[in-house]
Amino acid sequence: MTTVFVTVPENSAEEIATTLIQEQLAACVNSVDCSSTYRWNGEIHTDTEAILFIKTTAETYEKLKTRVKELHPYDVPCIERFEEDDVLSAYKSWIEESVIADS
Whether residue 103 is contained in a domain is answered as no
Q: Which domain, by its residues, includes 19?
A: 2-98
Please give the tally of structural domains in the chain: 1
Closest by alpha carbon to 57, among 24, 15, 22, 12?
24
The answer as to whether 34 is a domain residue is yes
**Residues of the chain with confidence (pLDDT) below 70:** 102-103
Give me the pLDDT at residue 100, please: 84
The answer to the question of residue 77 being in a domain is: yes
Query: 43 in a domain, yes or no?
Result: yes
The pLDDT value recorded for residue 83 is: 76
- Residues 20 and 26: their CA atoms lie apart, in Å, by 6
CATH of the domain at 36: 3.30.70.120
Inter-residue contact 53 to 34 (CB < 8 Å): no
What local confidence, expressed as pLDDT, does residue 103 receive?
45
